[in-house]
Structure 1
Amino acid sequence: MLVHGWITYVGTVLIPARAFWDLDLYRWWMWQGLHQGVWPVLDGDWVYPAGAVVPMALPALVDAVGTRPYALAWSAMVALLNAVAVLVLLRRAGAGATGVRGVVEAPRHDPAVGAWWWLGFVLLLGPVAVGRLDAVVAPVVVVALTVALRHPAVASALLTAGAWVKVAPGALLLALVLVVRRPWRDLVLPAAAVCVVVVGAVAAGGGLGHLTSFLTEQGDRGLQLESVAATPWLVAGITSPDVRVVLNDAITTWEIAGPGTAGVAAALGLVLPVALALVTGLLAWVRLRAGDALDTAGFLARGALLLAVVLILANKVGSPQFVGWLAGPVVVGLARPGLAGLRSWRVPAVLVLVVAGLTQVVFPVAYDAITLQQAGPTLVLALRNVLLVVLAVVVARDLVRTGRADRSRAPGLSAAAA
């Protein structure tokens, strides 16, 4: 509570306009819906999936008029969701797996390690760990990955619901599908059921024509300043007048403009799905290589983390809250490290904490200086982006090593299972 209380104080008292600006936008949308009957998605195109209305509307039931009351209600909601996720983590992370393929040994870990790491992560990431829509999705991912090995259908439903709030959680299903015994029953049907509910609700409200608008609303945006792909231009802009930081007035986002940036921004629209496909191929190869000896706990958490990192690396949007996508897989990986043990998570866990801390320096601390292309703060952002690339390499390496180790253990495990 102290961590969430501090961030709430920063976002509602110390620097509300800088830290919690997005929350006032959420409040405005909900005020329009509650007081004027004009709702996102139902009455027009929107940048978010339809399910995002739900978490935005809940604090508005407390107060949709005042900026601070809405922000306080939002912060309380996020703290409650995180507390529920930690409770599930502590109670369920030690359970074995019955809905997955392969052999799972008795757990040898302390789930509290993941919970304490998460608190440190939230503190280091700062206001964006609470005051953005992604803060609602993070605990959903933690719960989904925690219960995935015993209840894959529940995990599928949760990740799909999370995807209807912020798209990223849906990509984690690519890792889960490789370990479940009955993908159709345990993954496809629950996900489809959630989609039917969401589509039905939007259709009933008359917004079916706007249901997929979130896929195209930001299609014309350029290369966002914080994106990993913008790093070469970001550094070059310190000394080169040909590279500028410009404000996209339509969506109030700072972008990098220079020779080739428009082409890179356009190409990333294709690169992102290709990158996800390549990661899925790597996961499938590791899964096949390990066979029945697959360490499902380690594989699922590492696979989810690699997918989350790639979603950031191959994205032309680089908003600081995206770093929150990394939390769930690491939390569950530390709470249930698998056969490789807790030590195998040390490097990625530390890397993600460093990335979180640097991200808070970038936003909200030094963001204005970065938009002015000042050298010191700009290099901090560049370092953060380099470490994201390093993280991807480390996690991919660990996945491959895990697959090899699982295969080498296969005879003994098979005999024990028999």
Structure 2
Amino acid sequence: MAQAPTPVTQWGIPQAGPFRWTRPATWPREALALAGYWTASRMVMVGMLRSGKAEQAIEVHRTYYGWYEVLSTGTFPVDDVTWQYPPGAALAMLAPGLLPFLTYLQAFAVLMLVTDAVTQAALIRVSLRRNGGYHRGRSTAGAWMWALALPLLLGLPYGRYDLPVTALAMAALLLLPSRPRIGGVVAGIGAMVKVWPALALLGAPRGRGTRQAWTAMGVSALVLLAVLAVLFDNTFGFLTAQQGRGVEIESLGGTVLQVARLFGWPGEVEQHYGSLEFLGPHVHRIAKASLLLTAAAFGWLLLWRWRARRWSPATPYDAALTAVLLFTVTSRVISPQYLIWLIGLAAVCLTVRGSSQRPVAVLILLAVAVTTVDYPLFFDAMISGGWRPTVVILVRNGLLLTASLWSAGRLWRASVSTVPVLREARQPRRGPIRAA
């Protein structure tokens, strides 16, 4: 009697049992490939930071550890103009103290590495069934986006606290469909750490679940703020900290001034409010224009939400990426670590096959690569000025501007326009696939 063929997964390996995280032998081949690449690339990233010579390591040593010492006394930095963050950022600065057997830099890097690993595992988990196949309509492209794009920033992700902030926003989005209240709580915590994760819930579909998520986000943010106000002095100083900000050299407005310098504009670059900013004629006008563009972007997002009629599983993710792209591009400051936000949100979008943002993610990947050319390779030259650094920042910001406009257009056509930008995503092929 002929023996029935052994069932295989969509990756062509025998279906010996359920997919278990604790048993690598049951992992599908793509999960193994992701784990292998993640391990190798993250060892390189940790090595860059551990050398202690990178600017990111110096920043952790000097700035973050200085804030840690002040926060440990029960007060927020009062006279430090570089502290411009919501009070929840204190949690990120104090967290390395939970590992007293390590130096502050070592503990900070370990926590960033763990955050990265948990985020990578979550992206794999939402894409694969327990038996090693696909969730219906899901894709591992998001997991690959996170694995591949983050190392392009070299050691930067482990030398800034934007990684856990991004992880909170990603978690809020991934929890939103099944656990809206918990997703709202996570988004509220993220908003108290660095404001922008509040945008993660902007594209949630109308209904009871969205009301629950938004309410949970507001309540959790207020509760955390109240707790920090009790534990620390000068908790609300962040409300006025951004008033003196100017035009940072890597921002969209800064790019205009970089070009103007080539044609004789007499402004200078100086350390101002924690970043390198342009000082000189017309800078104030460009800063005002940036604020007006941010207000216009917010108005467009409100119009989109009012006009949106079609929601797919990808719409909340796509709307979050569009919103953060628009606010990033119109900001008076575009620091290299802001690209971590875009990598994370693009990765969440790519977990859904029907996302309208798949080509936008490619532009973001290119912008990340050019950002590394900008910082650290051309950063000193950008301070001094010249055509080479100007071309680099023009390309990077041109990619970000194109990505933001394309993202908004595709989101609008997918959810508002009478002719959707995408057809319904094809369902994944059923049945076993023979091993090659």
Per the TM superposition, whether the score is higher than 0.5 is yes
State the SS of the aligned residue for 1:247. strand
The whole-number CA distance in structure 2 between the counterparts of 1:358 and 1:409 is 32
Cα distance change of structure 1 residues 43 and 204 upon mapping to structure 2, 3 Å threshold:
farther
Matches within 5 A, 1:319-338: 319-338=335-354
1:133 maps to which residue? 161
Cα distance change of structure 1 residues 221 and 42 upon mapping to structure 2, 3 Å threshold:
closer
* Shift, 1:30, TM fit: 1.2
- Matching residue's letter, 1:125: L
Cα distance change of structure 1 residues 199 and 408 upon mapping to structure 2, 3 Å threshold:
closer
Matched, 1:309 2:325: yes
RMSD between aligned residues: 2.7
The question of whether the paired residues in 1 share the 8 Å contact of 2:413 and 2:421 is answered with no
The question of whether the paired residues in 2 share the 8 Å contact of 1:141 and 1:158 is answered with yes
* Shift, 1:274, TM fit: 3.6
The whole-number CA distance in structure 2 between the counterparts of 1:316 and 1:185 is 33
1:52 maps to which residue? 89
- Choose 161-170 or 274-283, whichever is displaced more: 274-283
TM-score by length of 1: 0.82
Q: Deviations over 1:214-251 (max 9, x none)?
A: 23113112111111122111112134242332332xx3
2:210 maps to which residue? 183
Q: Percent identity?
A: 25
State the SS of the aligned residue for 2:247. coil
Larger Rg: 2
Would you tell me which structure has more helix in proportion to its own residues?
Answer: 1
The whole-number CA distance in structure 1 between the counterparts of 2:265 and 2:299 is 38
The question of whether the paired residues in 2 share the 8 Å contact of 1:30 and 1:56 is answered with yes
* Shift, 1:12, TM fit: 2.7
The question of whether the paired residues in 1 share the 8 Å contact of 2:336 and 2:371 is answered with yes
* Shift, 1:79, TM fit: 1.6
2:429 maps to which residue? none
* Shift, 1:312, TM fit: 0.9
2:34 maps to which residue? none
Q: Deviations over 1:17-61 (max 9, x none)?
A: x23333221112112343xx2532699994211111112111133
The question of whether the paired residues in 2 share the 8 Å contact of 1:10 and 1:19 is answered with no
2:254 maps to which residue? 230
Matches within 5 A, 1:232-271: 232-248=256-272, 251-271=273-293
- Matching residue's letter, 2:118: V
The question of whether the paired residues in 1 share the 8 Å contact of 2:169 and 2:197 is answered with yes
Q: Deviations over 1:278-320 (max 9, x none)?
A: 12312432x22x3xxx21x221121111111111111112211
Matched, 1:71 2:105: yes
Matched, 1:363 2:375: yes
The question of whether the paired residues in 1 share the 8 Å contact of 2:180 and 2:209 is answered with no
The question of whether the paired residues in 1 share the 8 Å contact of 2:201 and 2:316 is answered with no
Q: 4+ residue runs of structure 1 moved beyond 6 angstroms?
A: 41-45, 407-410
- Matching residue's letter, 1:75: A
* Shift, 1:212, TM fit: 3.1
1:87 maps to which residue? 121
* Shift, 1:165, TM fit: 0.8
Matches within 5 A, 1:105-144: 107-110=136-139, 112-144=140-172
2:43 maps to which residue? 5
- Matching residue's letter, 1:328: G
The question of whether the paired residues in 2 share the 8 Å contact of 1:233 and 1:258 is answered with no
Cα distance change of structure 1 residues 406 and 155 upon mapping to structure 2, 3 Å threshold:
farther
The whole-number CA distance in structure 2 between the counterparts of 1:221 and 1:228 is 15
The question of whether the paired residues in 2 share the 8 Å contact of 1:224 and 1:317 is answered with yes
Cα distance change of structure 1 residues 356 and 180 upon mapping to structure 2, 3 Å threshold:
farther
The question of whether the paired residues in 1 share the 8 Å contact of 2:261 and 2:385 is answered with yes
Cα distance change of structure 1 residues 346 and 266 upon mapping to structure 2, 3 Å threshold:
closer
- Count the aligned residue pairs: 377
The question of whether the paired residues in 2 share the 8 Å contact of 1:180 and 1:186 is answered with no
The whole-number CA distance in structure 2 between the counterparts of 1:329 and 1:203 is 31
State the SS of the aligned residue for 1:75. helix
Give the unaligned 5+ runs of structure 2: 1-38, 130-134, 425-436
State the SS of the aligned residue for 1:83. helix
Cα distance change of structure 1 residues 165 and 206 upon mapping to structure 2, 3 Å threshold:
closer
- Choose 146-155 or 397-406, whichever is displaced more: 397-406
Cα distance change of structure 1 residues 387 and 283 upon mapping to structure 2, 3 Å threshold:
farther
The question of whether the paired residues in 2 share the 8 Å contact of 1:41 and 1:211 is answered with no
The question of whether the paired residues in 1 share the 8 Å contact of 2:126 and 2:138 is answered with no
Give the unaligned 5+ runs of structure 1: 96-105, 411-418
The question of whether the paired residues in 2 share the 8 Å contact of 1:20 and 1:131 is answered with yes
Matched, 1:156 2:184: yes
2:12 maps to which residue? none
The question of whether the paired residues in 2 share the 8 Å contact of 1:117 and 1:331 is answered with yes
The whole-number CA distance in structure 2 between the counterparts of 1:93 and 1:150 is 15
